[in-house]
Structure 1
Amino acid sequence: MKKILTLVLTCVLAFSLAGCGGSKDSSNAGSGDLSGKISLDGSTSMEKFVTALGESFKEKNPNVTVESQFTGSSAGISSVLSGKADIGDSSRALTDEEKSQGLEENIVAIDGIAVAVNKDNTVKNVTKEQLTKIYTGEITNWKELGGKDEKIVVIGREAASGTRVAFEELLEVKDKCKYAQELDNTGAVVAKCASIEGAIGYVSLDAVDKSINTLQLDGVDCTVKNIKAGKYGLQRPFVMATKGKIEKQSKLVQALFDYIDSDEGQAIIKKVGLISAK
């Protein structure tokens, strides 16, 4: 009888420990317990950051799917308002009208808008006034800026682009620009400036690569350091808009914003050439 009682107690104790062990593993799994889907839509200028963020977040949370589309800032904002996306990526500040519809402007990073030109362009600097005159059609030849006798090909983004909205607002040229071509994504602007000798365009700083040159603005280079110091004149926020405050969002969306605020998330912002908004 004594042997049977001992055996029963041993089994009960083993079962209890196994149960406690399972419970402990589950509670300590942390973010690994997350599962489901987060949908983002919006700015093509934010593609590099959003893609890197999604990939890193999924590595930490393998049961989470991060679906990202890059259809332009205004389209992303519309997707959030209609409930088609959890987060709207906007490379411009939200308008008062958008905020009045319940959108929350969550600024996650600061970006500089670089002035892109062809590698063979000999002009190195423009003033804000000269840049304004280029885009309004008052300056049409690079020789007027000390460059080659060559027509300036003014490249811009489509009307719904957050980059275009920010650029035109900063230069105060809204509805005044004389574009030769209006392109639907950042990569296309870079490609055009790389292939057309007289081209000029505007792109997110993190999209700048070795295929193009960038102009100084009023003698100041478009760099992270100069943007942080407030010296460079063309900069704008990167917004991840939600319908309502972050704390009112799903557990998954809240977790993504927590990840952005973490050391790992901030490292991603820095890695893609952006500036933390913290």
Structure 2
Amino acid sequence: MNGGNFKMKKILSLALVLMLAVTMFTGCGSKPAADEQKPNEEAGLTGKVVIAGSTSVQPLSDELAAAFKEKYPEVSVEVQGGGSSVGVKSAIDKIVDIGASSRELKEDEKAVGLKEYVIAKDGIAVAVNPSNSVEDLTMEQIKKIFTGEITNWKEIGGADKPIVVVTREEGSGTRGAFIEITKVEGKDADGNTKDFTTSTALVQPSTGAVKQTVANTPDAIGYVSMGALDNTVKTVKVEGVEATEENAKAGSFKISRPFIYLTNGEESEVVKAFIEFVMNEGQEIVKEEYISIK
């Protein structure tokens, strides 16, 4: 009996050791499993975000939406155009989750109580050849150059040379912003919005092509997004203010504008998550072509 008891005790001890080992192994393994749940919980966010408004903001919204969907595959982000006024009105009427505007709100629009998120700044520098002696231009002079009313550099303090205007192709977001801000875009006799860029302008398909043309043409003038500037061209001041990101952020450089998201009332969880993404991680996307708010 004593030998049997000894064997039984040995078996029970061995079983206890095995149980403890299994418990410890399971317990240790549970911690990384809990950690692994975090990205799964993020990926589990569902819902839909509808954005409408500024066609200038639209391409950036498309990129931000695509990046957000990579992080949250179950979320749908629908981006529509229509213009800034449509974006503001759609937010006021609550027919979209987010209205997009590429201009400051008017006083009556602000009075409604919309929540504003400035997601980026768009700054566009006026660029000339480094050999050009002109240092500063007014907004009116810029408008007249690009509409063809001023055709010689001597009219604005430069050499007696014909001005070579360089512009982007139609449909370019940079062109759209530039002509709108500088009033090169206006109303025709029938009241329709029209681009009055001079027909003699050299049209280029990219920012790089504009820079190269201006750099290689002594009497050229063009416009370049601030994020793409380099020392191959010279920027002129606009009404005494240098074309820098700092001045664009401060609002003192006139050929700049905010990109704004607008919400009205309580935001859903998915809308909050999207805006938080845009204001933080999304700024890496913003600064590729625009001025980040960070």
Q: Does 1:97 align with 2:97?
A: no
Structure 1 range deviating more: 223-232 or 40-49: 223-232
Q: What residue number does 1:180 align with?
A: 196
Contact 1:110 1:238 in 2 (8 A): yes
Structure 2 SS opposite 1:140: coil
* TM-score normalised by structure 1 residue count: 0.61
Contact 2:164 2:221 in 1 (8 A): no
- Residues 204, 68 of structure 1: alpha-carbon distance in 2 compared, 3 angstrom cutoff: farther
Q: What residue number does 2:124 align with?
A: 113
1:238 alignment partner AA: F
Q: What residue number does 1:134 align with?
A: 144
Q: CA RMSD in A?
A: 5.0
Query: Counterparts of 2:104 and 2:250 in 1: how far apart (Å)?
Result: 20
After superposition, the C-alpha distances for 1:171-206 in whole angstroms (9 at most, x for unaligned) are xxx99xx96259xxxx99979x969x9998878646
Query: Counterparts of 1:188 and 1:81 in 2: how far apart (Å)?
Result: 38
1:235 alignment partner AA: S
After superposition, the C-alpha distances for 1:85-137 in whole angstroms (9 at most, x for unaligned) are 211111111111112234222212222133478x9x96864422653672898
- Residues 261, 128 of structure 1: alpha-carbon distance in 2 compared, 3 angstrom cutoff: same
Q: What residue number does 1:256 align with?
A: 274
> CA shift at 1:43, angstroms?
2.0
Q: What residue number does 2:284 align with?
A: 267
Query: Counterparts of 2:229 and 2:55 in 1: how far apart (Å)?
Result: 16
- Residues 233, 181 of structure 1: alpha-carbon distance in 2 compared, 3 angstrom cutoff: closer
Contact 1:111 1:275 in 2 (8 A): no
Query: Counterparts of 1:75 and 1:188 in 2: how far apart (Å)?
Result: 30
Q: Does 1:216 align with 2:232?
A: no
Q: List aligned pairs for 1:217-256, cutoff 5 A.
A: 217-218=237-238, 222-224=243-245, 227-228=248-249, 232-244=253-265, 248-256=266-274
- Residues 25, 137 of structure 1: alpha-carbon distance in 2 compared, 3 angstrom cutoff: closer
Q: What residue number does 2:162 align with?
A: 149
Structure with higher Rg: it is 2
2:110 alignment partner AA: K
The share of aligned pairs that are identical, in percent, is 32
- Residues 31, 188 of structure 1: alpha-carbon distance in 2 compared, 3 angstrom cutoff: farther
Runs (4+) of structure 1 moved beyond 4 Å? 21-28, 121-125, 135-139, 150-157, 161-168, 187-191, 197-206, 218-221, 228-231
Q: Does 1:41 align with 2:52?
A: yes
- Residues 38, 99 of structure 1: alpha-carbon distance in 2 compared, 3 angstrom cutoff: same
- Residues 202, 250 of structure 1: alpha-carbon distance in 2 compared, 3 angstrom cutoff: farther
Query: Counterparts of 2:246 and 2:64 in 1: how far apart (Å)?
Result: 23
Contact 1:224 1:273 in 2 (8 A): no
Query: Counterparts of 2:178 and 2:108 in 1: how far apart (Å)?
Result: 19
Q: What residue number does 1:5 align with?
A: none
* Runs of 5+ consecutive residues of structure 2 not aligned to the other structure: 1-18, 188-193
Structure 1 SS opposite 2:108: helix
Query: Counterparts of 1:202 and 1:223 in 2: how far apart (Å)?
Result: 14
Query: Counterparts of 2:234 and 2:181 in 1: how far apart (Å)?
Result: 18
- Residues 106, 113 of structure 1: alpha-carbon distance in 2 compared, 3 angstrom cutoff: same
Q: What residue number does 2:6 align with?
A: none
> CA shift at 1:255, angstroms?
0.4
1:254 alignment partner AA: K
Query: Counterparts of 2:42 and 2:181 in 1: how far apart (Å)?
Result: 36
Q: What residue number does 1:75 align with?
A: 86
Q: List aligned pairs for 1:25-36, cutoff 5 A.
A: 29-36=40-47
